[in-house]
Amino acid sequence: MLEGLFGNKNVQKVLLFLFVNNTCYGTQMQRILRTPLTSLQNALSRLEKGKIITSYYVGKTKLFQLNPTFPLQTELEQLLKKAYTLLSPQDKKLYSLVQQDQAERRSLEPMLTSFWERLKSVSHFTRQAHSRSKEEKGWEGKGKGDVLVVRQSDSVLIFHERGSWKVEQGKDIEFSNIFRWTFDRRACLISLEHLRLGPDHPVFLFHLAPMRHNLLASVESHLCEEDSYLAQIPWDQDCIRLNWRVIGPRKNEELEYCYF
């Protein structure tokens, strides 16, 4: 779609991938996008020299991201957002971090089991939302609250959340949510649903699959009308971070839950 504009399909893939996922390292991107490593490295080098993307190290791993100081960063994100929303649901899957088959997920089952045990001990949370668009404010604000975890069965947890939400230059707003987490051990997946319409009419959000380095990610984007919802969950024994990404014709937003 943008190949004619950027003059290179790999440049297009890199920019869309970083727009959707925020950060990624080269070999991970190469595996997911199924692009020859040399071609991908050339695209990354070209974009970094142009200061359109930037990189930094975490340990020995070099991570890439869109350059937040690029002068046309806002306009570029608007263009990438439009391009992503025009993709078919099948093409949107190409930009999901999870590109595993069930056998690969099975090898990571111990990590998923550890995450499930960690979920049971959650008692409170903070959450923060902001728009990446200067024109669209969306969910701007901060909140915090408590979580009552109900173990419905060995494979189902219900999160009853109550807290307060403060929008920018606004008053605190009380809110409550009910989420259902379900552990499908056979498929080696955890699903997340919102129960705002009651337990018999769940609103499905994500299938989450395990990845390396204590990370879960949505298997594919969840489509709600024209909006796409994706999630990543980095976690450790101190905190579970549920990072939502919402992309749509009028949305370019991020929401981070921190469960403690």
Tens digit of each residue's pLDDT (9 = 90 or more) over 139-197 = 678 999 999 999 999 999 999 999 998 876 677 889 999 999 999 998 888 999 999 99
Tens digit of each residue's pLDDT (9 = 90 or more) over 56-115 = 998 888 999 999 999 998 889 888 988 888 887 777 767 776 655 556 667 788 899 999
Inform me whether the pLDDT recorded for 1 exceeds 70: no
Q: Which residue has the higher pLDDT, 256 or 94?
A: 256
pLDDT band at 239, cuts 50/70/90?
very high
Report which of 153, 201, 148, 151 is spatially closest to residue 177, judged by C-alpha positions.
148
* Res 160: pLDDT: 98
Domain with CATH 2.40.128 in the chain: 102-259
Amino acid found at 50: G
Domain with CATH 1.10.10.10 in the chain: 3-95
* Res 102: pLDDT: 58
From start to end of the chain, where are the E strands?
A: 23-25, 53-58, 61-66, 124-131, 141-153, 156-166, 172-184, 189-194, 203-211, 215-218, 222-224, 227-234, 240-248, 251-259
Q: Please give the CATH architecture assigned to the domain spanning 102-259.
A: Beta Barrel (2.40)
* Res 256: pLDDT: 92
Tens digit of each residue's pLDDT (9 = 90 or more) over 30-50 = 877 888 889 999 999 999 999
Annotation: CATH topology of 3-95: Arc Repressor Mutant, subunit A (1.10.10)
